[in-house]
Amino acid sequence: MMKTITKWAFRVHGFLGLSTGLFFLILGLTGSVLLFRHDLDRALNPDIYHRPANGPVISADSAYRIIATAFPNLEKIVLHDFPLSSHEPYEFMLYRTINDPADNHLGFAFVDAHTGAILREGNYETLSSSFFRWTYALHYSFLLGRLGQAFVAALGILLLLTILSGLIVYRKHLLSVLLFKVPLHKNGRRLYSSWHRVVGVWSALLNLVLLVTGVWMNLPAFQELFSAETAAPHMQGSFASKTDLDKLLDYCKTRSPGFHPIAINIPKNNDSPILVRGQLSSTYFPLFGGKASHFSFDASTGACLSILDIDRADSSKKISWAVYQLHIGAFGGYALRIFYALIGLTPALLALTGFVLWTRRSKRQKTKLQNGRLEI
């Protein structure tokens, strides 16, 4: 019985490994790059992030009004990054209304923090606009919008099955692999097999966290994909009529001293609130860091509607944010990001050794067939 299961697991592992290996490789490489996106982006784009500090810094509301005037037909504007110094710009994420589920809805724009000039704008799916934002779209949706996100979720499930089938095939060697007692043979076939086994088992165990969290994050895309089949409702509202963002920021800091604002979500729809997202001074748990908490404001009057403290939120919100933090490795320093990057690079070695093993096995079977000695 177990022999039959192993035989089928071997076939499933080989088929899934060959059919999904390239996608797994892309996800691993792009994920590793994105771990250092902010540092690399600032280092490689001095014209954006190292601007002359001439005069006072314009307010967040002023920067927003510039974007709202330049892009009036968006679905939502998000002040994604405040300037970290007097030399950095405001960065905005621009959400376009899409009619095709394969369209990418994300765009971006930088506003000079002193002059108010729009330094650069573009779409996430365009490589020439921004390499790192293009990489982000490639990683999360293969540049195919909601359709791509659903595909990534399905792909993640297939990759989990690849890992499970591989663990079944190598179950007798798990302990020796984990203890690094697998001999690395000089023989070519056995050398590739040994490396594939060692890297495969260890990366499988470590990649489980990234795969499970990635699938969890993209599963809502299935629901969005289904809802995208119906016509999108007409958005009633105007970005120009929104309340002063600086007053909202002042309220947050007064109501909760020590609050660190990270982003502001401004929807065009009048019925949707403005969210000032960030970290409360009372939040210490690493997986609840970042912009997990928020203040909700009436978009027209600026009245505070509610405050979400992630430490006191319901379980679903806590789990969702913890999953997100686990996936992007944002709860640790450089050491953790380097560790995550090494995990993300293991698919490259697995794809190489797996392909070599498959081609050599195919050649052996072809030779046996030609010699009339094919073993079944």
Q: Could you tell me which residues come within 8 angstroms of residue 321 by beta carbon, excluding any fewer than 6 positions away?
A: 287, 288, 290, 292, 310
Mean pLDDT of 15-20: 73
Rg, the chain, Cα only: 25
* Rounded-to-integer distance, Cα 349 and Cα 91, Å: 36
**pLDDT of 22:** 80
Q: How distant is the alpha carbon of residue 281 from its chain centre?
A: 26
**pLDDT of 376:** 44
pLDDT level of residue 231 (50, 70, 90 thresholds): very low
Mean pLDDT of 62-67: 97
How many angstroms separate the Cα of 244 from the Cα of each of 101, 240, 250, 357?
34, 10, 10, 62
Residue 50 has pLDDT above 90, yes or no: yes
Provide the residue ranges of all domains of the chain, joining segments of one domain with +: 1-35+144-232+336-376, 36-123, 239-328
- Residue whose entry in the numeric block shows the structure tokens 């001293």: 257
Residue 90 and residue 60 in contact, taking contact as beta carbons nearer than 8 Å: yes
**pLDDT of 181:** 55
pLDDT level of residue 156 (50, 70, 90 thresholds): confident
What are the beta bridge partners of residue 128?
none
**pLDDT of 111:** 97
How many angstroms separate the Cα of 69 from the Cα of each of 220, 275, 277, 333?
32, 20, 23, 38
Q: Which among 283, 202, 175, 297 has a CA at the least distance from the CA of 246? A: 297
Q: Which among 31, 6, 8, 9 has a CA at the least distance from the CA of 347? A: 31
Residue 113 and residue 51 in contact, taking contact as beta carbons nearer than 8 Å: yes
* pLDDT-wise least confident of 41-45, 150-154, 230-234, 261-265: 230-234
* Rounded-to-integer distance, Cα 172 and Cα 176, Å: 9
The letter for the amino acid at 119 is L
pLDDT level of residue 155 (50, 70, 90 thresholds): confident
**pLDDT of 244:** 96
**pLDDT of 368:** 63
Please tell me which residue, 105 or 304, carries the higher pLDDT value: 304
Long-range own/partner contacts, residues 170-176 (CB < 8 A, 24 or more apart): 170/197, 170/200, 170/201, 173/197, 173/201, 174/201
**pLDDT of 345:** 77
